[in-house]
Amino acid sequence: MTKILGIGWDVGGWMGSKQGIAAATFNLDTQKFEWIGTPRNTNLKKHQHWTPQSILEALDPKISIEEFEEVTIGMDASLGFPIAYRKLVNQEDHELKFPSKEIQNPFAYRDTERHIFEKFGKKPLSAPFDKLGNNTTLALSYALKWSREEGFKMIPQQGNKSSKHVMIEVYPALVKSMEQSFIKEEILKRIPSEINPRSDAYDAAICSILALLFKGNGQFIENVTLQDPCIHKETATEEGWIYYI
């Protein structure tokens, strides 16, 4: 019996007052989906030095991460910075060229964000230029800590889909902005009705469902998987990739 675990984290900032967490399981044999506890808003300061296990315990103290063979953490935050921006802050040589559009600014946006904009017409926030930098540095700090101490791999930067314990970047706002469809309905109908759609907990719930889709091999929602890097794959291994439906 293979039971996969999807942990969702709607990442807030370093002061910790706006975090959303959720966790759900899917049994690949019985096709059974279950929430662990209830998606909730929480405060990072109450859970200093988070681990994947402590997130689970905040939702249900009886659950151990050791029960699951494969675990995916879906984070709503950038897990990387643009290559050009990193070169700039390291004072490396770069071309001074004014972009034709904001989304084309290589210091502000990664290839994955340009891809999302071109495909869906929705522009993600910029980690270097918008307030998302607060969330990004928190998410990256934990991702690197969990990679070092908990055996999790950031995908695609540190490993691939075959890794057992992984962390991916997801974008729940993209799901909510989708036109009504079978896939959108299948995702949102699973979120407990008492969760406010405008809450951090709601976005965390979407993150956890996307995490299950990543490892669900097209079984969780039939034939639905997340898109692996499909442009500039080498760049994605440096900058990160937003996994989307």
pTM of this structure: 0.95
| Average pLDDT of the segment spanning 212-219 | 93
Q: Which domain holds residue 171?
A: 3-243
Q: Give per-residue pLDDT as tens, 99-126.
A: 889 999 999 999 999 999 999 999 999 9
Q: Give per-residue pLDDT as tens, 120-175.
A: 999 999 999 988 889 999 999 999 999 999 999 999 999 888 899 999 999 999 99
3-state secondary structure the chain: CCEEEEEEEECCCCCCCCEEEEEEEEECCCCCEEECCCCEEECHHHHCCCCHHHHHHHHCCCCCHHHCCEEEEEEECCCCCCHHHHHHHCCCCCCCCCCCCHHHCCCCCCHHHHHHHHHHCCCCCCCCCCCHHHHHHHHHHHHHHHHHHCCCEECCCCCCCCCCEEEEEECHHHHHHCCCCHHHHHHHCCCCCCCCCCCHHHHHHHHHHHHHHHHCCCCCCCCCCCCCCCCCHHHHHHHCCEECC
Structural domain tally of the chain?
Answer: 1
pLDDT reported for residue 1: 53
Lowest average pLDDT, out of 72-76, 92-96, 97-101, 176-180, goes to 92-96
